[in-house]
């Protein structure tokens, strides 16, 4: 059974016309199945926040909708279910802050730089840049969401660096390295990032398998950044 069937059935059982109360319900309904609970909660978070981001920007472009479908690799049979969930989120009167706070609670109170929440941000950036640029209103929205998520400014800058090309991407920012770092230290950091962001690791912490494109894109950015600075670090 696909994750979209599980979510659609979950929403139907609650007979709700809003998604804003569902994240909390996920905790209890799927209490005995933590893997499914994480997948359902993450997917609802992505649907809700991407729909709210589209409203914040003022328009919903075809590119943004296609990007949402792309990162989730939605089967044709499930497309109508996902569209219905997306429309529920757009129509919900609850503000994005309410959604973001509920999603932040999935990582526990006061937990900074929660990997699952950074995964959500990566997905939102992927959708935001689908039309070729992350617009000012979208960046403001994403900055506010990151603050609610408890993501540090340093970590948020790394996320931004992976997606926003301000003339050139800074590979040091993407890898979280200071200039002047030794080759050995840089390589250790690079290998740790590759391990931590392997698609299997992301799935283990709650990303649906349908979301694996984000994991692959992140690994590609990490590898590209290392290839750029590795020769320089070797020369020392």
DSSP string of 127-170, one letter each residue: HHGGGSS--HHHHHHHHHHHHHHT--HHHHHHHHHHH--SSS--
State the pLDDT at residue 228: 92
Residue showing tokens 């933590």: 34
Q: With bands split at pLDDT 50, 70 and 90, how would you rate the model's confidence at 21? A: low
Neighbouring residues of 131: CB distance < 8 A, sequence distance ≥ 6: 61, 63, 64
Query: Which range has the worst mean pLDDT, 77-86, 148-157, 167-176?
Result: 77-86
pLDDT at 123 over 80: yes
Domains of the chain in sequence order: 3-172 (1.10.3680)
pLDDT > 80? residue 142: yes
Cβ neighbour number for residue 168 with a 10 Å cutoff = 6
Please answer whether residues 213 and 71 qualify as being in contact, where contact means their C-beta atoms are separated by less than 8 angstroms: yes
Distance CA 184, CA 192 (A): 12
Global confidence as pTM: 0.78
187 pLDDT band, cuts 50/70/90, is: very high
189-222 burial, b at 16+ Cβ within 10 Å, e below that, comes to bbeebeeebebeebbeebbbebbbbbbebbbebb
Question: What is the Cα–Cα distance from 118 to 154, expressed in whole angstroms?
Answer: 12
The enclosing H or E element of 2 equals: none
Among 13-17, 144-148, 168-172, which stretch is predicted with the lowest mean pLDDT?
13-17
């Amino acid at each position: 059974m696909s994750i979209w069937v599980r979510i659609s059935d979950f929403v139907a059982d609650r007979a709700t016309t809003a998604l804003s109360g569902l994240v909390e319900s996920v905790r209890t309904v799927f209490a005995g199945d933590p893997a499914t609970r994480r997948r359902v909660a993450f997917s609802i978070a992505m649907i809700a926040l991407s729909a709210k981001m589209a409203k914040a920007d003022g328009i919903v472009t075809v590119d943004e909708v296609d990007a949402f479908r792309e990162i989730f690799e939605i089967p044709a049979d499930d497309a109508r279910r996902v569209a219905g969930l997306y429309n529920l989120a757009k129509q919900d009167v609850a503000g994005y802050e309410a959604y973001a706070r509920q999603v932040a609670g999935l990582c526990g109170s006061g937990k900074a730089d929660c990997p699952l929440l950074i995964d959500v941000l990566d997905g939102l950036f992927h959708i935001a840049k689908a039309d070729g640029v992350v617009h000012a209103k979208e960046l403001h929205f994403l900055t506010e969401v990151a603050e609610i998520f408890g993501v540090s400014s340093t970590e948020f800058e790394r996320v931004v660096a992976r997606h926003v090309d301000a003339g050139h991407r800074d590979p040091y920012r993407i890898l979280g390295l200071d200039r002047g770092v030794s080759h050995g230290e840089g390589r250790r950091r690079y290998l740790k990032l590759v391990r931590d962001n392997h698609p299997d690791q992301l799935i283990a912490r709650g990303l649906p398998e349908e979301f694996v494109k984000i994991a692959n894109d992140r690994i590609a950015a990490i590898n590209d950044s290392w290839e750029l600075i590795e020769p320089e670090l070797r020369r020392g």
